Chain A
Amino acid sequence: MNFKALLMGATWAIGLALSPITAIAQNSGGNLVYLVQPEPPSLASFLSTSGPIGLVAPKIYDGLFDYDTDLQIVPSLAESYEVSEDGKTVTFKLRQGVVWHDGAPFTSADVAFTVMDVLKQVHPRGPNSFREVTSIDTPDDYTAVFNLENPAPYMLRALSVYESPMVPKHLLEGQDPRNSDLATNPVGTGPFRFVEWRKGQYIRLDKNENYWKPGLPLLDRIVGRFIPDASTRTAAMENGEVMYGAYGAIPNIDAVRLREMDGFSVTTDGYAMINPMALIEFNTTKPPFDNPAMRRAVSLVMDRQFLIDNIWFGYGKPATSALSSNFDKVGLYRSGLPNYPATGDLEAAIKELDDAGIMPDADGVRASITLDLIPYGEDWRRAGEYMKQAMKPLGIEVELRYEDVPTWLNRIYAEYDFEMNVNYFYQLPDPVLGVHRHYGTDQIRQGTHFVNSSRYSNPELDALLAAGAQEPDATKRAEIYGEIQEILATDMPVANLFEMEFLTVYNDKLADHATSAMGAYGPFENASITE
């Protein structure tokens, strides 16, 4: 990627924003009221990746990078970066003159502290994103040198404000980051500063007058409102009380209705960095799914398009590989793999089982299994009901099981007491961050949620995963991930169902809220309101 050209592009864009022509198009000022659902437990984005925190904290903090809608790097607190020949040293040049909301200057010491003492220690995904980082040198206030054990190209995709917010060393040092005042009283360098949190009602952020991007942010104030009831949220959107709701704050059924109304728009943009994927996890350690033919047959029989059309109101895209097609933008996705029909192929599925010698008994039953379903709402129940019907002609008798969240998590990730589980994972902007956790032998971590619950272990694949994580060359890396996807399409420890599309519903008066790949988890500094 050509970073210099991007950098120039960014400078040019900022220049444009300052020119008189665009000043007319973009209205400065105004308040944005948006939906935050549910109310976040804290604003400690350095401690938790919980969705509602992501809706608020990225407006207050900054990351080293942002990413544009093509997933390319956009400089933020880091103005430029350089990777050494062997890939083991990454040097970031930091922006000068940036100050925290309390007036203290932002320096390389903050970067070193954030990564080594906070993200690597207490962030859910930080230990993985920064696992190769052994130390960070700070030769001067505006240079941070990351020393790596092995090359880690994926790390550069984990530096957004949502994933890795830079936190102030002078306010956290010497404290336990898990129990600091910063969690409810955040101080960042971002476009908006924290003003007030009225529990049960709203969080108010005001414009940071000293923001380092000249002329930004455009809005004077943003207010995140908490409205627990879904139909009340929809009503608030309809009557203009709130202008923006993302991550299903407005249910799909209402979103498709609002889409037809004047003054409202619905978009699926802004989720590319999240990359959600609906999938089935198979327990590969016990019958019947210890047999790969069974797993392939289930993948073959699923009518993915039916699920999307009838349960998710047409929002989604049939999965065709272990990787989401969003990885096509960075060259890692491979198309044309077997066992991923978009609309289901019963004959091929039956043939798969017949060839494997799994024959129906006198009652036409080849296997009786229990299907567990992620207890995150009605849609998943409908999906389970569909799957039960879909597998019946295959001779697989299905019992459905719904449990509460803790029981379900415990069953799948601690007890491994399941056969087949419907779930969804965030694949995140790089497979190392979001996909490896499904398949690596080292990711069989009893008791840790959302990792390799299939307990699939394949030394050949492990070697490829390790190689893929460290390969700096884009072409070679694509080759490695191609091979990984071939193996997984055949072994199928996890059958991906469809690439989920979350919906953002917004009032047409609100402009430029999704200029970052982070979408709702982004900074909103370009957002503006036109009357």
Chain B
Amino acid sequence: MAFWRLFARNRSAVMGMIILILIFLMAISAPLFFPADPFSLAGQSMSPPGENGFLLGSDSLGRDVAAGIAHGAKTSLLIGLLATLVAVFIGVIMGALAGYYGGIVDNLLMRTTEMFQTIPSFLFAILLVAIMKPSIESIVIAIAVVSWPAVARLVRGEFLSLRNREFVLACHTLGMGDVRIMLGEILPNCLSPIIVIGSLMVATAILIESGLAFLGLGDPNIMSWGFQIGAGRTLLRSAWWVCTFPGIAILLTVLAINLVGEGLNDALNPRLRDRS
């Protein structure tokens, strides 16, 4: 409960949380409000918002922009969460091993991490998706592969500072195994920064997914916001609504996640607890 009190002190974080919940609800309820396939040719093409029964207009093939946004929310959130989970998983393992053992293991793992970090992440993601063929799985993998180094470095730093603390040394004296110390003792103590960086990574992942879909590297069989914008960008002068509304959806989602991430940081970081 103390956590919630701390979190609620940050008004913009609460605001972000509300927006995020609404977007979640939209994603879950999309099949209820828009039971048809979002790709279906629902009616008159290029209808402006509010006309011909299209709340937010229709695109060049007569697809409902509102249905696309509702169904696209699921794709964006799903990809954002999945990619982040995979990235955090890889990052934690790499960082924990490097930080805990140090020496040659640390050297090896950190040089590998740096190798990944030297490649511009978005270009690397494009390359990976192009090689693996665009699909949900390949996009999740690509985003995870370009995102984990940041987590790895963070976790390594935490492990480095914690591994010589008294309670860890005590564990050693008690004869605890390395795995148990890492997972049971050190990791819980560095969860807060991982949660914060993870929440921000969801936003980045959504942006990368949208960017890929915009460039035509999304899964062609799944509706997403980036796809909608990419498909509508040639119409920008004649049908502004096709890419404007999905753009707003991305903006709101990413903003909301960032606000929540900021709020988590404030609430979880003991040094910032008294900031107001």
Report which A residues bind B (CB closer than 8 A): 251, 253, 257, 310-311, 378, 381-382, 384-386, 388-389, 392, 399-404
Contact = CB atoms under 8 A, between A and B. Distances in A.
A399 B61 CA distance: 18
Interface string B252-265: 00000000000000
Contacts of B40: 389, 392
A253 B237 CA distance: 9
B220 A384 contact: yes
Q: Return the 3 tightest CB-CB contacts between A and B, nearest first.
A: A400-B220, A310-B45, A253-B234
Given A381-B216, A386-B61, 7 more contacts: A310-B60, A389-B37, A389-B39, A389-B40, A400-B220, A402-B220, A404-B130
B117 to A, nearest CB: 27
A253 B235 CA distance: 8
Contact of B234 (A251, A386, A389, A404): A251
B221 A399 contact: yes
A415 B220 CA distance: 22
Contacts of A311: 60-61
B181 interface: no
Contacts of B37: 389, 392
B39 A385 contact: yes
Contacts of B39: 385, 388-389
Contacts of A388: 39
Contacts of B41: 386, 389
Contacts of A257: 237
Interface string B41-59: 1000100000000000000
B79 to A, nearest CB: 18
A378 B218 CA distance: 13
B228 to A, nearest CB: 12
Contacts of A381: 216, 220, 231
Interface centre among B40, B45, B60, B235 (most CB of A within 10 A): B60
Interface string B213-257: 000100011000000001100110110000000000000000000
Interface in B141-189: none
A297 B37 CA distance: 23
A266 B188 CA distance: 68
A197 to B, nearest CB: 31
Contact of B231 (A253, A378, A399, A404): A378
Contacts of A389: 37, 39-41, 61
Given A251-B234, A381-B220, A382-B231, A310 B62 contact: yes
Interface of B: 37, 39-41, 45, 60-62, 130, 133-134, 216, 220-221, 230-231, 234-235, 237-238
Looking at chain B's contact residues, the main secondary structure is loop
B60 A400 contact: no
Nearest to B234: A253
A143 B233 CA distance: 58
A310 B61 contact: yes
A311 B37 CA distance: 20
A120 to B, nearest CB: 39
B127 to A, nearest CB: 12
13 contacts: A253-B235, A253-B238, A310-B45, A310-B60, A311-B60, A378-B216, A378-B230, A378-B231, A378-B234, A384-B220, A386-B41, A386-B61, A389-B37
Contacts of B230: 378
Contacts of A384: 220
Nearest to A257: B237
A385 B216 contact: no
Nearest to A309: B45
Nearest to A390: B41
Contacts of A310: 45, 60-62
A402 B234 CA distance: 19
Given A253-B234, A253-B235, A257-B237, A400 B221 contact: yes
B103 to A, nearest CB: 43
B61 A385 contact: yes
Interface centre among B62, B133, B234, B238 (most CB of A within 10 A): B234
Contacts of B221: 399-400
A221 to B, nearest CB: 34
A221 B262 CA distance: 64
Nearest to B45: A310
A398 to B, nearest CB: 9
Contact of A382 (B61, B130, B134): B61
A232 B172 CA distance: 67
B238 to A, nearest CB: 7
A257 B237 CA distance: 10
Contacts of A386: 41, 61
Contacts of A253: 234-235, 237-238
B220 A382 contact: no
Interface centre among B216, B220, B235 (most CB of A within 10 A): B220
A251 B235 CA distance: 12
Nearest to A375: B216
Nearest to B130: A404
Interface centre among B41, B134, B237 (most CB of A within 10 A): B41
A211 B133 CA distance: 53
B46 to A, nearest CB: 8
B86 to A, nearest CB: 24
B219 to A, nearest CB: 9
Interface centre among A253, A257, A404 (most CB of B within 10 A): A253
A385 B60 CA distance: 11
A12 to B, nearest CB: 47
B220 A401 contact: yes
A402 B216 contact: yes
B166 to A, nearest CB: 57
Contacts of A401: 133, 220
A378 B234 CA distance: 9
